[in-house]
């Protein structure tokens, strides 16, 4: 990218840069000193775990042309000092200004942004929106859990929502590659930590709220408040809210620019709802009504929550002014998202559905969705992550026991915890724990299920979805539920 500002232009809202340093060219901002190359401007903030100011020497050594650093008592706001002929500019509250600072350099484009937040469904909705936009001849990209970029060329992402500088830079790079729209998954961590603070969202979407990330937020109230800030503390021109979720229903009444989306009839003028939903092994057929008029379409997706997801995607695009008839005509070409209720089938064997469901609510919805499609017995294989919220372990086991006919408990990123202890926590939530099969090796767990299941049965392999790794105490090894399903069903 050939973007450039002078230091005076970049820092204008916060500092009046003296003539001696005004013309320093800023072409690339970097938070990680290890990525600094000649001509990079290093941004040194005090982060949650690491103080970037410790790496100023290293950044200068690697060729940084200037440093923008977080001010403190010893180095007050406005101070400019030279170190090895490299200027260091000190700013107060630099961490909070990061999104705006990066935006001044990188946000010189017309890439329209759609933010999607909520516990479950973010990946599916962002990818459905991007698919649909491509089908009606617009270039669309995504940023989130499964990677950043265009759908046929996603680059891995370390976090659902990257740091404030990386987010702005990635959006600019996607625009340069032709993206007219980018649909972003906006995590609660990303909102709390200001990673999307200065982004102008053409639309924001709320999917649902259920137990997750309490190891970080502490309470459900704080978790909900973090999500709500997308609509209250960010530029968000249109809010598309799932009012079938109790939190969403409450938020809808508080937002002036909101459109309610529901699978039930609504009596508010600013709403879109499903009049009828029909489920089959071929997918979902939906008739809808509301502020954009009536219509009907077919989508090759499985389950009630995907009916909600596709309705949220549709309403977002209608709210942005896209042609309704064109959207309805192209809906049958939408395809399931990688590792999200993804069906693997081979004649004479049980069907295997791979899904990312790793929260109690997601597991419950996935099992309820498959029960509608299942003519035989319903199996479920899942685990719970180590070093994460322990409270959801018995809850997920209780859901598995209540909604499936057969439960197999396995490993899902045990990290530094003893996987036997994780399973013990899960078994505590079951009434008849002796009926659960425990097999820590996920490949062997699926092998067991396929060997014991009938051809009419469905096996839900939940928790990892698109992931192709298993995180252990001292290493991360290659493992993929999708590959296991294909191999054991003889599809590879």
Residue 463 among known ligand-binding residues:
yes
CB count in 10 Å sphere of residue 137: 9
73 is in an annotated binding site: no
| 332 known ligand binder | no
Residue 159 is labelled as binding a ligand:
yes
- Contact by Cβ (8 Å): 344, 352: yes
Is 119 annotated in some ligand binding site? yes
187 is in an annotated binding site: yes
Residue 120 labelled as part of a binding site: yes
Measured in degrees and rounded to the nearest 5, phi and psi for residue 327 equal -65, -45
Pairing, β 283-290 against β 295-299 = antiparallel
**Would you say 410 is a known binding-site residue?**
no
Per the annotation, does 470 bind a ligand? Answer: no
For residue 346, say whether it is annotated as part of any ligand binding site: no
Q: What is the rounded CA–CA span in Å between residue 478 and residue 471?
A: 9
340 has binding-site annotation: no
Specify whether the CB–CB gap between 267 and 275 falls below 8 A.
no
Rg (CA), the chain: 24
Question: What CA–CA distance (Å, rounded) separates 116 from 464?
Answer: 21
SS3 string of the chain?
A: CCCCEEHHHHHCCCCCCCCCCCCCEECCEECCHHHCCCCCEEEECECCCCEHHHHHHHHHHCCCCEEEEECCCCCCCCCEEEECCEEEEEECCHHHHHHHHHHHHHCCCCCEEEEEECCCCHHHHHHHHHHHHHHCCCCEEEEECCEEEECCEEECCCCCCCCHHHHHHHHHHHHHCCCCEEEEECCHHHHHCCCCCCCEEEEEEECCCCCCCHHHHCCHHHHHHHHHHHHHCCEECCEEEECCCHHHHHHHCCCCCEEEEECCCCCCCCEEEEEEEEEECCEEEEEEEECCCCEEEEECCCCHHHHHHHHHHHHHHHHCCCCHHHHHHHHHHCCCCCCCCEEECCCCCCEEEEECCCCHHHHHHHHHHHHHHCCCCEEEEECCCCCCCCCHHHHHHHHHHHHCCEEEECCCCCCCCCHHHHHHHHHCCCCCHHHCEECCCHHHHHHHHHHHCCCCCEEEEECCCCCCEEECCCCEEECCHHHHHHHHCCCC
Tokens for 450, please give them: 């396929």
- Does the annotation place 123 within a ligand binding site? yes
Residue 215 counted as an annotated binding residue: no
The dihedral built from the CA positions of residue 348, 354, 357 and 361, taken in this order, carries a sign that is negative
429 belongs to an annotated ligand binding site: no
Is 117 annotated to bind ligand? no
| 413 assigned binding-site residue | yes
- On whether 31 is known to bind a ligand per the annotation, the reply is yes
Q: Is 122 annotated as a binding residue?
A: yes
Q: Which residues are annotated as a binding site for meso-2,6-diaminopimelate?
A: 388, 412-415, 463, 467
Q: Which residues are annotated as a binding site?
A: 31, 33, 118-124, 159-161, 187, 193, 195, 388, 412-415, 463, 467
Q: Which residues are annotated as a binding site for ATP?
A: 118-124
């Amino acid at each position: 990218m050939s973007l450039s500002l002078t230091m005076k232009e970049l820092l204008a809202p916060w500092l009046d840069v003296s003539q001696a340093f005004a013309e320093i060219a800023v072409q690339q901002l970097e938070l990680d000193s290890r990525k600094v190359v000649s001509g990079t401007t290093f941004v040194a903030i005090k982060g949650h775990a690491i103080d970037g100011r410790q790496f100023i020497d290293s950044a200068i050594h690697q060729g940084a042309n200037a440093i923008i650093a977080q001010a403190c008592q010893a180095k007050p706001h406005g101070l400019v000092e030279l170190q090895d002929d490299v200027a260091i500019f000190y700013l107060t509250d630099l961490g909070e200004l990061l999104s705006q600072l990066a935006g001044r350099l990188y946000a010189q484009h017309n890439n329209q942004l759609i933010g999607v937040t909520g516990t479950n469904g973010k990946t599916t909705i962002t990818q459905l929106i991007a698919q649909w936009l491509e089908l009606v001849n617009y270039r669309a990209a995504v940023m989130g859990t499964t990677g950043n970029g265009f759908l046929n060329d996603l680059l891995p992402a370390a976090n659902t929502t990257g740091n404030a500088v990386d987010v702005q830079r990635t959006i600019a790079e996607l625009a340069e590659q032709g993206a007219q729209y980018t649909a972003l998954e906006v995590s609660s961590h990303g909102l709390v930590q200001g990673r999307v603070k200065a982004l102008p969202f053409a639309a924001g979407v709320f999917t649902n709220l259920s137990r997750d990330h309490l190891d970080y937020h502490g309470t459900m109230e704080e978790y909900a408040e973090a999500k709500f800030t997308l609509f209250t503390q960010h530029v968000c021109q249109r809010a598309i809210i799932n009012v079938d979720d109790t939190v969403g229903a409450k938020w809808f009444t508080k937002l002036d620019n909101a459109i309610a989306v529901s699978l039930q009839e609504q009596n508010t003028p600013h709403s879109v709802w499903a009049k009828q939903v029909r489920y089959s092994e071929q997918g979902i057929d939906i008739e809808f009504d509301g502020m954009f008029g009536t219509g009907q379409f077919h989508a090759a997706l499985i389950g009630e929550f995907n009916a909600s997801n596709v309705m949220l995607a549709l309403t977002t695009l209608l709210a942005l002014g896209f042609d309704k008839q064109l959207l309805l005509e192209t809906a049958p070409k939408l395809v399931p998202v990688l590792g999200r209720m993804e069906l693997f089938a081979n004649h004479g064997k049980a069907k295997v559905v791979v899904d990312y469901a790793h929260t109690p609510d997601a597991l419950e919805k996935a099992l309820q969705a498959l029960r509608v499609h299942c003519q035989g017995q319903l199996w479920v294989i899942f685990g719970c992550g180590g070093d994460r919220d322990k409270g959801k372990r018995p809850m997920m086991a209780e859901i598995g026991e209540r909604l499936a006919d057969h439960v197999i408990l396995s490993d899902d990123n045990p990290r530094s915890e003893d996987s036997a202890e994780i399973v013990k926590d899960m078994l505590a939530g079951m009434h008849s724990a002796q009926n659960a099969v425990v097999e820590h090796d996920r490949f062997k767990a699926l092998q067991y299920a396929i060997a014991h299941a009938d051809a009419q049965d469905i096996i839900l392999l939940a928790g990892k979805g698109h992931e192709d790794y298993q995180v252990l105490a001292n290493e991360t090894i290659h493992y993929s539920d999708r590959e296991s399903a294909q191999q054991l069903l003889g599809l590879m």
